[in-house]
Chains A and B, each alone.
Chain A
Amino acid sequence: MQRTTLFFLGGAALIFVIVQAMISFGLLNDFYVNILLLASVYAIVGLGLNLIYGFNGQFSLGQWGFYAIGAYAAGDITYWWTLDKSAHALMIALLAVLFCGAAILLLRKLLSRVRGVDALSAFTLYLVVVIFLVFIAIQLGQALSPAVSGLLSLLPDGLSLQIVFFLAVLIAGLMAAEISFLFGLPVLTLGSDYFGIATLGLTIIVKVLLDNSDTLLPFPEMKGARGMVGIPEVTNWFWAFAFLLVIVIVVRNLLHSSYGRAIISVREDEIAAKAMGIDIAHYKNLSFVLGSLFAGLAGGLYAHINGFLHPNTFNFIKSFDPMIIIVMGGLGSITGTLGASFAWAFILEGLLRVILPQGTETWRFVVYPLILLLIMLLRPKGLMGEIELPFLRQVLPPLKPKAQPEETQAEVKP
């Protein structure tokens, strides 16, 4: 293993152990642990958006909508499990996500053989198939649920909850990813600003649906605009850190590969990328789906921090938060996103609440935009610019010693 890799993993382990020790010994009170978890969740959301906007150049304001979808999906699954040890929500969601995922992959393979498929028609086709499969998943999930519930109940209480939670978060991520795939199929063909506005629309539509989840949607337990309670508080430092670490490594590995370069080439120049044989529609879709996957996972984690979800958390005004975070951190910088999301959570949720005297709560949002303005005016490229940790930075491969004489004879004047 390379030295930078060792340093990075060692450093990560060290941070994890130190923070965990501080939590275990009670040095960090719940307030700060909460901020820490929130910061990790924001970092995951931000990394997803950075992949979509920072690296792929697609101006998306839909990240918050997928975050909301993930949060409510995961919250609903664990809600039913803690309520009456029923795995029906888990089974339905799991089967739906798996069926739809498999169908999407299969259909994609089939459609890739047909040249020049119209995006909207493909969307319609996928939509029909997905609706059909979700219907089947509901039937099948309900049939299988007693058996699975029984099996899970055999495990010790704590363990089964952790398993359900872990699956719920994964399902949340996949669900967000699949919805983003469907949504992105026609919408990614729009120009950059229009794509941003359409995704903003998605965020708002999701929020409206959540506001009316008990009346318009068949989820009375989500209680619409009153907010959903009864979700177990399972997310802890271990889970938050583990998800964050894995996602950082996945993003880093992806970006340092040919696939990552293809994603970045779309941001740099779409026409040139096309002319270089890059299927730009595919890579736009890929990064949108991956980014939304991360948003869904983050949502799943978020739902289990406080055990309480309210549609106002997923207000469209808040959908600018991840955008602000990644711009602050520097677009296209993983380190920047990590730093900015922790700084953001600590300053906005922590510091400004603590240093402002009682009764001046509202000043928090007077100070915050001023800081924002100052940063934008002084450092338009973000606080960190393009600085990366050594592990996250792409190293330039060393040159081999001069090429064979045959090559050097190729005389090309500068």
Chain B
Amino acid sequence: MSDAIPPRPAPPADAPPLLTAQNLTKEFGGLRAVHNFEKTIHTGELVGLIGPNGAGKTTIFNMITGVYVPTSGSVIFNNQDITGIAPHEINQLGIARTFQNIRLFPNLTVLDNVRIAYHPHAGYSMSDAILHNAHFNQKEKELTERAQEFLGVFNLQDRQGEIAKNLPYGEQRRLEIARALAAYPKLLLLDEPAAGMNPAESMALMDLIHFIRERFNLTILLIEHQMRVVMGICEWITVVDFGEVIARGTPQEIQSNPRVIEAYLGPGAAALSQKYRRKKPHAD
């Protein structure tokens, strides 16, 4: 099914990138988690970020979304330097994210989870809220309807009254993506969206990612461990290991890159896989 979607034409070379990470470095008290990370993402791309556990992928996400302030380097988003800006401001500029271990608002309803994401665009003041005046009622109604419509897109509208923590795992993932998209971001960062999913579920997830990308005109940066997902949907892949970029290219290029195989499976693995590949035709 992933093959059904034709790869996008490469963006014009002179188009300004949506996101540029320059020399991003993060150190935790001497431990260098990420070193000189460079990445340019153009509008409309779907980019994968892979690497073994502890390679620094989530740290990169945290630097882009403002959770961590980089030790050095900078992040340019939409021609604006966003390095070191507070996370909530970065979100309001148009970068949304999901989390590796789902972070919903567990005791709130599905509807409220999405409505919170609309808060920066609520459109009424606190005095309106306290008085519950006509302006408030109208804006709140609009906001609620938008949120419900949105849940509809994600097939969660019948769940709106459910408490988020009571949802099954797959729906929690979907709700988290819905919540991230509610404020219409330009760039979506997905941190291991398929973690803990079985093949059927991750297949559905891939469809979902394709769908939201078309529907919301999104640019997506994705961390994933399931190779099937990454290789299936990403146009470009960047591989990091020990905080450094070790390879970048199309899925095909990455698949055969010996350094990548080595990083995942250990030294010598690349040679082994070469051998295996050569043997295979004989076996047929």
Chain A residues proximal to chain B, CB less than 8 Å: 115-116, 250, 253-254, 256-262, 264-265, 268-269, 271-280, 396-397, 399-400, 402-403, 407-408, 410-414
Contacts and interface: CB of A to CB of B under 8 A. Distances in A.
Contacts of A403: 149, 152, 157
A413 B129 CA distance: 37
A277 B85 CA distance: 12
Interface stretch (B112-120, B226-234, B235-243): B112-120
Interface stretch (B44-52, B97-105, B246-254): B97-105
B108 A268 contact: yes
Contacts of B86: 115-116, 274, 279
A393 B183 CA distance: 27
- Majority secondary structure of chain B interface residues (helix, strand, loop or mixed): helix
Nearest to A286: B126
B161 interface: yes
Contacts of A259: 119, 122, 126, 129
A275 B118 contact: no
Given A258-B129, A412-B153, A277 B103 contact: no
Interface in B79-128: 84-89, 91-92, 96-97, 99, 103-109, 111-112, 115-120, 122, 124, 126
A269 B99 CA distance: 12
7 contacts: A258-B118, A261-B116, A274-B91, A276-B179, A277-B89, A412-B204, A414-B170
B77 interface: no
B105 A254 contact: no
A230 to B, nearest CB: 36
Given A257-B140, A258-B119, A275 B129 contact: no
Contact of A261 (B104, B119, B174, B180): B119
Given A115-B89, A116-B84, A280-B88, A397 B111 contact: yes
Given A116-B84, A275-B97, A412-B153, 4 more contacts: A258-B143, A259-B122, A262-B119, A269-B106
A113 to B, nearest CB: 12
Nearest to A397: B144
Contact of A250 (B97, B120, B130, B154): B130
Q: Which of A264, A273, A277, A407 has the most CB of B within 10 A?
A: A277
Interface stretch (B20-28, B207-215, B272-280): B207-215
A280 B116 CA distance: 12
A366 B276 CA distance: 78
B40 interface: no
